[in-house]
């Protein structure tokens, strides 16, 4: 189980590092989009801040996964991003589901592996 955790953590970390560095440093030209995918991405880019915030968050979480520090925190922080990646590809651009599904499964696997760290977070508080 420990080896599987390390493999999943490293693969997810490298995916997020690659995706964030490519966009933040403009290493590749943006992929041509059409239809609803273009409309969706144009809206995100038009905000002026969202894509930068998204990619910086992916970069920080990717570093946490690769280094192996703060993995339970990174798993929680990156979960809404992986959920949105999955939903985007499920409803807008189904071609990317081959990456989105394993990414979500990896995040859920890491969350399950870190479940003891979330005990206090999910415990009911007594006033």
Q: What are the pLDDT digits (tens) for 63-122?
A: 999 999 999 999 999 999 999 999 999 999 999 999 999 999 999 999 999 999 998 888
Q: What are phi and psi of 33, to 5 degrees?
A: -120, 160
pTM value is: 0.91
**Tokens 């859920």, located at residue:** 108
Ranges of each domain in the chain: 2-122
pLDDT of 127 strictly over 70:
no
Q: How far apart are CA 98 and CA 123, in angstroms?
A: 35
Q: How far apart are CA 52 and CA 126, in angstroms?
A: 40
Q: Show the CA angle centred on residue 61, arms to residues 21 and 66, nearest 5°.
A: 85
pLDDT, position 69: 95
pLDDT, position 20: 96
Nearest to 23 by CA among 47, 58, 48, 62: 58
Mean per-residue pLDDT, 10-19: 97
């Amino acid at each position: 189980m420990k080896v599987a955790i390390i493999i999943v953590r490293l693969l997810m970390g490298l995916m997020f590092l690659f995706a964030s560095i490519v966009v933040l440093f403009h290493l590749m030209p943006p992929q041509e989009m059409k239809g609803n995918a273009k409309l969706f991405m144009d809206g995100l880019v038009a905000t002026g801040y969202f894509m930068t915030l998204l990619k910086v968050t992916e970069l920080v979480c990717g570093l946490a996964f690769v280094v192996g520090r703060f993995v339970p925190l990174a798993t929680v922080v990156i979960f809404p991003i992986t959920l949105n990646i999955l939903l985007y590809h499920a409803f807008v651009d189904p071609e990317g589901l081959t990456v989105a599904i394993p990414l979500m499964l990896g995040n859920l696997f890491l969350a399950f592996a870190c479940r003891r760290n979330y005990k206090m977070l999910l415990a009911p508080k007594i006033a």
